[in-house]
Amino acid sequence: MKSVKDKLVLVTGGGSGIGRLMALDFARRGGRVVIWDLSQKAIDQAVEEARKEGLEISGMICDVTNRLAVYSCAETLTGRAGPVDVLVNNAGIVNGKTLLDTADENIEKIMDVNSLSLFWTAKAFLPSMLERNTGHIVTVSSAAGLVGISGLADYCASKFAAFGFNEAVRMEMRRLRSRVRTTVVCPFFINTGMFDGVKTRFPLLLPILKPSYAASKIVKAVLKNRKCLIMPRFVYSIFLLRLLPVSVFDFIADFMGVNRSMESFRGRS
């Protein structure tokens, strides 16, 4: 298991949810942690929580959907703290509406946050990682990046894109024989508030994940250089189910309650 002691760790969307929990975990392990978020209040709360534990986390407001802002923030960060060693692309949003009920601008926003931002942060920090032949890029995708879910067309599309982005970057690193590592994370729904109201028909097989559990598993996956983390393990069955005829796949998805999971969705207020 590798160490992040004295390594610079950047967590996007790190002011709340599992981003904040991951930031605290990395800090407890000796990492020099920086969080990017759109909310100064969320940043201040995370920094204060770390301070109460005797830890040090710093934060910057950065809109990861704005490539020029990302490049500017990246330049400022590296100028102050040096090159980033671990980039955790965690920032994400959800609409939770059916395709025809989702406004065009909301579709664009979710693709910007969940997908396009990955390109801007990677282009900002990957060159330095390649030059030093070390580093780690973490992409938080979703189980919804492996299977389509009714009421999440835009979210699924963005997370499928995130999964593909990670895989392509991993292959590029292999072709270059680089020691830069990648990890993609595909969790089922996490009880952070963002998916408030979602339900699961079989909680023993597909439990709504606790934020602290999910954050801890992700950090440990990074430290172990795991290429892929899927939570819970039952989600791995998707890869086998895709070998079946589409009609059978759809029947099983219906039986598991996948297409009804968003019926009581409320989301974060």
Q: Hey, which residues are catalytic here?
A: 155
Q: Are 182 and 139 in contact (CB under 8 A)?
A: yes
The overall longest dimension of the chain from CA atoms, in Å, is: 55
Tokens of 252: 């099983």
174-182 LR contacts (CB < 8 Å, sep 24+): 176/130, 178/129, 178/130, 178/133, 179/133, 179/134, 180/126, 180/129, 180/130, 180/133, 180/134, 180/135, 180/136, 180/137, 181/135, 181/136, 181/137, 181/225, 181/227, 182/136, 182/137, 182/138, 182/139, 182/227
